[in-house]
Amino acid sequence: MSTSTNAQKLPEAFTDFKPSIKVASPGRINLIGEHTDYNNGFVMPTAIDKKIYFEFKENGTDSTCRIYSATYNAHLEFDHNNLSISEKSWENYVLGVTNEIKVLGKSLKGFDCIIKSDLSTGAGISSSAALECGFASGLNALFDLGLSKVEITQLSQKAEHNFVGNKCGIMDQYASVMSKQDHIILLDCESLHAEYIPADFKSCKLLLLNTNVSHNLADSEYNTRRQECEAAVEVIQKKYPEVKSLRDVNLEMLEEFKAQLEGKQYQRARYVIEENERVINATTAIKAGKLNEFGELMYGSHDGLQHNYEVSCPELDFLVEFSRDKDYIYGSRMMGGGFGGCTINLIEADKIDEYVVEAAEAYFKKFNIKLDTIAVSPSEGTIVEKL
C-alpha cells in the first residue's frame, strides 16, 4: 500500500534534510543497435551528462519509506513490507525497485529520499533507467546491501518488467550504471561483456533533436515486437534447438523459415539480424575513424526501424530525411524505443547552430511543433557519494 499526494511545497519530513547518501544517475544515448538488446544482440550506448539526482537518509522507522519528487512535485509514502503496483507511473519505478531488492532477500529499514532531475521524460533518453538504477544504487549504499553494479542493472530491469509492465532489455540500465567518461560501450547483451571504445568523433559531435512527441503506441508496440521476435525464434528452434535467440540466427538460416513465419515475424527478425551486423561494422568504422561509414550505418539502422521493424513515426522520419542531403551530417537515426523521442545525429560541430535553426523551422512548418535540441556528451555512469 502506498499513499501519494501532490505537494505544493516540500513536505515537513524533507525540510532541513541532511542526506547521508547522494547519487547522480545519468540518462543514456544509443549510437546504434536498437531493439537488439532483448534479442541478446549488440548495442552501443553510453551515459550522458543529464541526470537524476537523489539524496537519501534513514528516518529511524522500521519500514516507512518517504519519497519526494521535485520533478513531479509529488510525495509518496509506502511501507516496504507491503508493496503493490501504483496507478501513477513514476511511482512504479521506485516501488518496483524496492520490491526487487526485497525479492533478493535484502533487508531494508525506513528511509527518506528526495529526487530532482534535469533529464527530460518522454525524450527517449531513458529517464526510467536513471530513476530505477539511481534509486537502487542509493538504497544499496544506504543499507550496505552488497549489490554489485551489474546486479543493480538487472534488478532495475526486473522492476520495469514487473511493476511498470514494460518488457525492456538491459541496455538502458547497463548504460546508466556502467558507462565511462568519454567512452561508448559495445555491449554484448547475451554475455554482458562490455568493450569500452573512446568516443572520438574528430570534428563532429553527437546531437539529439527532440521531436517533442511521444505517441502512446510506444509501450504496447514494444512488447508486441518482443513477442514477434520470440515467436520467430520458437519456429526456428524446432529445427535448430541450439538457437536461443535471434542472436544465434543468420540471414541464410532465416530464409529457410520465411514461409513458416507468420505475420510480420520474418521482417522483424530480418531487421534484428541486420542491425546486429551493423553494430559490429560500426565498431570497426568508429575505431578506424571512418565517420562516413559509421554514418551510413546509422541511416541503415533508421531505414530498418522505419520499414521493417516499424517503430518510427512521421516526425522522426522527417528529421532523418531532412538531414540526408547535408554533407556536414554523417548519419542520423531515431534513437530508443521509437514512436517519438529523439533522433541522434553525427554532425560537424561548427554546423550545429546553423542546422538546428534550419531543421527547427522546417519541422515547425510541417508539424506545428517546436523542435528541441539536447546537447549530449558521453559521460560516467552512476556516481554514489557517501557523506
Q: State the nearest-atom distance from the C-beta of 367 to ligand GLA, in Å.
A: 23
Hey, which residues between 100 and 139 contact ligand GLA (CB under 6 A)?
126
Q: Are 288 and 272 in contact (CB under 8 A)?
A: no
CA 4/CA 110 separation, integer angstroms: 17
* Count of other CB atoms within 10 angstroms of residue 87: 7
Q: What is residue 261's three-state secondary structure? A: coil
Binding to ligand GLA by residue 228, rule CB under 6 A? no
CA 197/CA 206 separation, integer angstroms: 15
DSSP secondary structure string for all residues of 266-308? HHHHHHHHHHHHHHHHHHHHHHTT-HHHHHHHHHHHHHIIIII
Binding to ligand GLA by residue 158, rule CB under 6 A? no
Binding to ligand GLA by residue 35, rule CB under 6 A? yes
Q: Closer CB to ligand GLA, residue 130 or residue 384?
A: 130
Q: Position 326: which residue type?
A: K
Q: Closer CB to ligand GLA, residue 4 or residue 267?
A: 267
Binding to ligand GLA by residue 37, rule CB under 6 A? yes
Quickly count helices (H) and strands (E) in the chain: 10, 14
Residues with catalytic roles: 172
Binding to ligand GLA by residue 315, rule CB under 6 A? no
Binding to ligand GLA by residue 168, rule CB under 6 A? yes
Binding to ligand GLA by residue 169, rule CB under 6 A? yes
Bridge partners of residue 2, in order along the sequence: 78
Size of the site for ligand GLA (CB under 6 A): 11
In the list 4, 14, 26, 34, the residue contacting ligand GLA (rule: CB under 6 A) is 34
Q: State the nearest-atom distance from the C-beta of 24 to ligand GLA, in Å.
A: 20
Q: Closer CB to ligand GLA, residue 168 or residue 291?
A: 168
In the list 91, 172, 228, 275, the residue contacting ligand GLA (rule: CB under 6 A) is 172
Q: State the nearest-atom distance from the C-beta of 112 to ligand GLA, in Å.
A: 29
Q: State the nearest-atom distance from the C-beta of 139 to ligand GLA, in Å.
A: 21
Stretch that binds ligand GLA, among 30-38, 143-151, 251-259, 363-371 (CB under 6 A): 30-38
Contacts of 293 (CB under 8 A, 6+ apart): 281, 285
Which DSSP helix (H) or strand (E) runs through 163?
A: none
CA 198/CA 225 separation, integer angstroms: 32
- Residue among 248, 114, 270 at smallest CA distance from 189: 248
Binding to ligand GLA by residue 340, rule CB under 6 A? no
Positions of E strands within 99-254: 111-117, 183-188, 193-198, 204-214
* Count of other CB atoms within 10 angstroms of residue 105: 6
CA 69/CA 90 separation, integer angstroms: 9
Stretch that binds ligand GLA, among 34-42, 98-106, 276-284, 375-383 (CB under 6 A): 34-42
Q: Closer CB to ligand GLA, residue 142 or residue 164?
A: 164
Q: State the nearest-atom distance from the C-beta of 108 to ligand GLA, in Å.
A: 26
Q: Closer CB to ligand GLA, residue 270 or residue 351?
A: 270
Q: State the nearest-atom distance from the C-beta of 77 to ligand GLA, in Å.
A: 28
Q: Are 177 and 137 in contact (CB under 8 A)?
A: yes
Footprint of ligand GLA (CB under 6 A): 34-35, 37-38, 126, 168-169, 171-172, 336-337
